[in-house]
Amino acid sequence: MMLSGTDLACVRAGLPIFRDVSFAIDAGQALLVTGPNGSGKTTLLRLIAGLIRPTRGQVTLAGLDPEASIGEEAHYLAHQDALKPSLTVAENLGFWSRFMGPPASPETALAAVRLDTLAGLPAAYLSAGQRRRLSLARLLAVYRPIWLLDEPTATLDADGQASLAQIMRDHLASGGIIVAATHGPLGIDGARELRLSGGQPGCAAGPAPSPGTRGEEWGEGDASSGRSSLAADRITAQPNSSPQAAKHATVLKSLAAIFVRDVTIALRVGGGALMGVLFFLAVVTLIPFALGPDLALLRRVGPAVLWLGALLASLLALDRLFATDQDDGSLDLIVAGGPPLELAVGAKAAAHWLTTGLPLVVASPLFGVLLNLEPKSIGATVLTLLVGTPALTLIGLIGAALAVALRRGGILLPVLVLPLTIPVLIFGVAAANAALDGPVRFATPFAILCALTLISLVIGPFAAAATLRHTE
Amino acid sequence: MIVQKRPMALIDLANPSRFLALVGRALPWLALATAIAFAIGIVLVLMAPDDYQQGATVKIMFVHVPAAWLASLIWVVMSIAALGTLVWRHPLADVAAKTAASIGAAFTFLCLFAGSMWGRPMWGTYWVWDARLTSVLVMFLMYLGLIALWQTVEDPTRAGRAAAILTLVGAINLPIIKFSVDWWNTLHQGTSVFRLDGPSIHPTILAPLLVMALAFTLLFVTLHLAAMRNEILRRRVRTLRLLQAHGA
């Protein structure tokens, strides 16, 4: 196994972060990336993880499954801890072990970072150092040969740093690779050093700077050649009867993990699963104040009011669909090393619809009574909402991804998404009205509504995944 | 624990342990009093004459009106508790406010539900946008908003301040909302103005109504004290778990 980068250059926002960076790390070796603040250490790690594309050059991994990306073979430990405060310590680690593939033993990993006694506590109760140790447990719970560690000792106390050093030495001894961005010694003997010497904003204009103008210094240590065959054992321990089927099973497990996690978070304190219903009720209550308490009028506009209310309420919760994952760093891990991003995004959308869309559908008959709708009309509206709200979620998925990519949440999202939802609104309301006294049959607009939902099922996850991949 | 600077009457209750002991002693008696009040109230309600127009459905009023009365009363209780949180920093104030909110929402919902059950035979529909019903619906929304606020923030002391401010703003706004809704409804006089109460209440109706109001109030006090006890215990569990995390 050999991880190498050749002639890497990275330009961000028109400024060269670094250029002419080359390295080659063999199994059992560690590479320490050092340099002043802003010299591109984090960028280099993200680049290796596949989260950023290099402007020039490439990173290659030889000697492993050729179909797997580096991200799928690597653990990326970022500054953010990728922990959900409302989940317990065990749930947080359990999610990442299930998500990242063949689950090893989360319990042993927790014990190794001395958090086993706190397994049942919400992660919100942990101190910064404890959270760091919990993220480190991820590296132990699931075996991945390459570790990309960004300032791994940050917030750790002396004991924590010592046990981290031991964990890293064990990983190297088992034939793993470590690339660590650091300011201080990590306690690994014989690690090589790659020193990044800082950006030079002055030469931003040059599109392809000539090589050699700014060489990288290499601190050559003696490469540790002692490596056991432990890593190879673990990799071949996979059932190799049908690798394709095993891979599918792994992907399904990852998707199920995302789905279960998102539903759990939505139902916990601060998840806000029923906030949309409350907003829906508020919108429905406001309408008669604007139109007057005229029951005949309300009955006529009722389906439209319910649809508008559901539409606005489903927009409300979209803001947090990706934003929280981005803030705590989970999104990077989901993008870098898991199942195909389209499917992961789809799983998130399904969980989101179940916790925000479905409650709207369930609540709508009651709100229909408030608007004096006839039972038949209520039934038709509920049916159209049941079919139509998934489309709203899936279209909103694109907006949520864009908002995350542009680092602008809040008001931008509705502005982006609302125009896209117009067709769904048209045919949803048309079908609901047609059920009662429409000039057309219920089936016609309803069939188009179903088609719109199916189309957005295709477009939504793909567009959202494409957006998330190009966030950098 | 916050140290009180001025001596005050409620100082004895400021100690949650003493409060818990007191609640433990008082709760059985309160529950008994509630049960007796309800027993008398229900007998009186059954003996009360049916309305010559509305028939037996008028008896729904004996649930509806006390629930509506409690919906307002509980907001007053929460407003006092909010003052306790913001002004006196009474440690039990936000416990009282938090637990009252969900009970208040439940009574408000009961009021709306009973009104709508009464409306079905009377108006031919479950819901009309009558001024009183609509005001109660807006109040229900505000209760739910308050509960949502409590549910959003994990740290109860931080949520307490925000909820206290919202409660007081609500206390100022509820009469304004009530006035606006009345004005809005009379503006649309032509459509559907129904009144739940008649022009005057006959004594045969008034007596059971008052007893039921008393029974409902006792029920609220009982539920509220029990809920406060649970909340105090819940917060102790949370503190213990936090200590466990920091001790490890």
Report the mean per-residue pLDDT for chain A: 82
pLDDT above 70 covers a percentage of chain B that reads 85
* A contacts of B192 (beta carbons < 8 Å): 293, 295
Picking from B128, B144, B152, the nearest residue to A270 by CB comes out as B152
DSSP H or E run through A178: strand A177-181
Give the pLDDT confidence of A339-362 residue by residue, as tens digits: 888 999 999 999 999 999 999 999
**Interface touch B245/A127, C-beta < 8 Å:** yes
Report H helices in A268-319.
Answer: 275-291, 295-318
Q: Which residues of B fall below an 8 Å CB-CB distance to A? A: 116, 125-130, 134, 137-138, 141, 144-145, 148, 151-154, 181, 184-185, 187-188, 191-192, 241-242, 244-246, 248
Q: How confident is the model over A170-178, as a mean pLDDT?
A: 89
* Cα A34 to Cα A197: distance, rounded to the nearest angstrom: 9
- Look at residue B42 and tell me whether its pLDDT is greater than 60: yes
* Cα A105 to Cα A85: distance, rounded to the nearest angstrom: 22
At residue B10 the predicted structure's pLDDT band, cuts being 50, 70 and 90, is low
Ranges A112-121, A212-221, A396-405, B209-218: which has the least confidence: A212-221
Q: How confident is the model over A250-274, as a mean pLDDT?
A: 85
Distance from CA of A217 to the nearest CA of B (A): 43
- Look at residue A233 and tell me whether its pLDDT is greater than 50: no
Q: How confident is the model over B71-91, as a mean pLDDT?
A: 90
Instruction: Give the number of other CB atoms < 10 A from CB of residue B214.
Output: 17
pLDDT at A360: 94
Report H helices in A410-442.
Answer: 412-417, 422-437
Give the pLDDT confidence of A40-55 residue by residue, as tens digits: 888 888 888 888 888 8
* Cα A198 to Cα A196: distance, rounded to the nearest angstrom: 6
* Cα A317 to Cα A358: distance, rounded to the nearest angstrom: 13
In our burial notation (b when 16+ CB lie closer than 10 A, e otherwise), range A257-280 reads bbbbbbbbbbebbebbbbbbbbbb
DSSP A79: S
Please tell me which residue of chain B has the smallest CA distance to A371. B127
Q: How confident is the model over A133-146, as a mean pLDDT?
A: 88
pLDDT at B248: 60
Establish if A200 touches chain B: CB-CB under 8 angstroms. Answer: no
In our burial notation (b when 16+ CB lie closer than 10 A, e otherwise), range B191-209 reads ebeeebeeeeeeeebeebb
Three-state secondary structure call for residue A193:
strand
Ranges B59-73, B75-89, B116-130, B141-155: which has the least confidence: B116-130
Q: What angle do CA A219, A221, A225 make, to 5 degrees?
A: 145
More confident residue, A257 or A226: A257
Distance from CA of A115 to the nearest CA of B (A): 8
* B contacts of A85 (beta carbons < 8 Å): 154
- Look at residue A295 and tell me whether its pLDDT is greater than 50: yes
* B contacts of A130 (beta carbons < 8 Å): 245, 248
Q: Cα-flanking dihedrals φ and ψ of residue B67, to 5°?
A: -65, -40
**Interface touch B154/A118, C-beta < 8 Å:** no
ipTM above 0.90, yes or no: no
Q: How confident is the model over A296-314, as a mean pLDDT?
A: 91
Residue among A4, A1, A68, A46 at smallest CA distance from A28? A1
* Cα A400 to Cα B28: distance, rounded to the nearest angstrom: 53
* Cα A123 to Cα A107: distance, rounded to the nearest angstrom: 16
Residue among A348, A355, A378, A351 at smallest CA distance from A277? A355
DSSP A363-404: HHHHHHHHTT--HHHHHHHHHHHHHHHHHHHHHHHHHHHHHH
Q: In what order do the strands lie in the sheet with A74-77?
A: A74-77, A146-150, A177-181, A30-34, A192-195, A217-219
pTM of structure: 0.82
pLDDT at A198: 59
At residue A279 the predicted structure's pLDDT band, cuts being 50, 70 and 90, is very high
* Cα B23 to Cα B222: distance, rounded to the nearest angstrom: 9
- Which residues have CB under 8 Å from A229's CB, separation 6+? A175
Tokens of A93: 């680690």
* Cα A388 to Cα A382: distance, rounded to the nearest angstrom: 10
Please tell me which residue of chain B has the smallest CA distance to A293. B129
At residue A426 the predicted structure's pLDDT band, cuts being 50, 70 and 90, is very high
Distance from CA of A186 to the nearest CA of B (A): 24
Ranges A434-443, B57-66, B68-77: which has the least confidence: A434-443
pLDDT at A241: 54
Q: How confident is the model over A314-331, as a mean pLDDT?
A: 86
Three-state secondary structure call for residue A186:
coil
Three-state secondary structure call for residue A179:
strand
Q: Which of residues 83-102 of A touch B (CB under 8 A)?
A: 85-86
More confident residue, B10 or A276: A276
* A contacts of B141 (beta carbons < 8 Å): 278, 281-282, 285
**Interface touch A118/B245, C-beta < 8 Å:** yes
Q: Which of residues 324-353 of A touch B (CB under 8 A)?
A: none
Contact A2, A24 (CB under 8 A): yes
pLDDT at A409: 65
Q: Which of residues 276-335 of A touch B (CB under 8 A)?
A: 278, 281-282, 285, 288-289, 292-295, 298
* B contacts of A125 (beta carbons < 8 Å): 241-242, 245
Contact A381, A432 (CB under 8 A): yes
- Look at residue B88 and tell me whether its pLDDT is greater than 50: yes
* Cα A77 to Cα A149: distance, rounded to the nearest angstrom: 5
Establish if A115 touches chain B: CB-CB under 8 angstroms. Answer: yes
pLDDT at A391: 94
Three-state secondary structure call for residue A169:
helix
Residue among A314, A252, A304, A254 at smallest CA distance from A279? A314
Q: How many CB pairs under 8 A join A and B?
A: 80
**Interface touch A281/B144, C-beta < 8 Å:** yes
**Interface touch A295/B191, C-beta < 8 Å:** yes
* Cα B125 to Cα A375: distance, rounded to the nearest angstrom: 11
Picking from B129, B151, B242, the nearest residue to A288 by CB comes out as B129
pLDDT at B15: 77
* A contacts of B124 (beta carbons < 8 Å): none
In our burial notation (b when 16+ CB lie closer than 10 A, e otherwise), range A430-462 reads bbbbbbbeeeeebeebbebbbebbeebbeebbe
At residue A392 the predicted structure's pLDDT band, cuts being 50, 70 and 90, is very high
* A contacts of B187 (beta carbons < 8 Å): 292
Question: Ranked by mean pLDDT, which of A327-341, A381-395, B145-159 comes out on top?
Answer: A381-395
Picking from A117, A285, A298, the nearest residue to B141 by CB comes out as A285
- Which residues have CB under 8 Å from A97's CB, separation 6+? A103, A104, A106, A109, A138, A141, A142
* Cα A358 to Cα A368: distance, rounded to the nearest angstrom: 16
A391 pairs with which residues across the strands?
none
**Interface touch B127/A278, C-beta < 8 Å:** no
pLDDT at A203: 31
* Cα A239 to Cα B27: distance, rounded to the nearest angstrom: 62
Measured in residues, chain B has a length of: 248
pLDDT at B14: 65
At residue B76 the predicted structure's pLDDT band, cuts being 50, 70 and 90, is very high
Q: Please name the amino acid found at residue B180.
A: S
More confident residue, A339 or B107: B107
**Interface touch A114/B248, C-beta < 8 Å:** yes
Q: What pairing do the DSSP bridges indicate for beta strands A146-150 and A217-219? A: unpaired
Residue among A404, A407, A393, A298 at smallest CA distance from A354? A393
* B contacts of A123 (beta carbons < 8 Å): none
